Structure 1
């Protein structure tokens, strides 16, 4: 059949899309308890690893599109999780800094990874590590 390659069941990209949506849905409830969205969670995790970084560095670390990052950061500023300050030496650059509220959220979020990983009943920890390696390879191959 010449069109079998066009069937959804034969598409790796569609499986990745469905998996991504499912993971975001799995995070929805635990993240709602701390009043953040999944994209905000990604940003704040990056800042918990390294605070006081430029927006460009944050975009690089998270792979979030620049225009989407602008909207995410605006909402996080409105929630008093972080603030953005101009770099004195270069007014074009802006630093992203966590507030005390943003830092304190880390203690409240500590169990979220466990809550979500418990939902993976069909794959074990070794398979998760293998999957992460495979996904890293996919990401590397498809980077611009």
Structure 2
């Protein structure tokens, strides 16, 4: 997907109503495409990543570069992003002492960090990150649009 199409997808989701239940109908979505208060969309997906450690590192760098290219366009609109480490969110969710709301609990399980902006037009959070569920899984560039504040 080109950056222009990625931006158009983000704009559309910023304006769309959120699903009333989990598992809405966002085309190209990753996992649950959304739920009450959020949309999740897969913007890019890598091929088979079973090419060894060197290939994995290059692929990870490629997906970080894709995120940065899109992030620059969003920064032109809304200013510099806030960075969020999601490792702590994951640990807090695992400990079970605190309820971590979706989409943050799921994102913390497979995304190390994210860039976030508050869309001025809607007040929604726009979150970009590179996701990978496990070493044998593909890299994915995800966008999350939510009105649920980060924990």
Please indicate the TM-score interval, normalised by the length of the shorter structure: under 0.3
Task: Looking at secondary structure, tell me which structure has more strand per residue.
Answer: 2
TM-score (norm 1): 0.28
TM-score (norm 2): 0.27
Q: Decide which structure has the larger Cα Rg and report it.
A: 1
Task: Looking at secondary structure, tell me which structure has more helix per residue.
Answer: 1
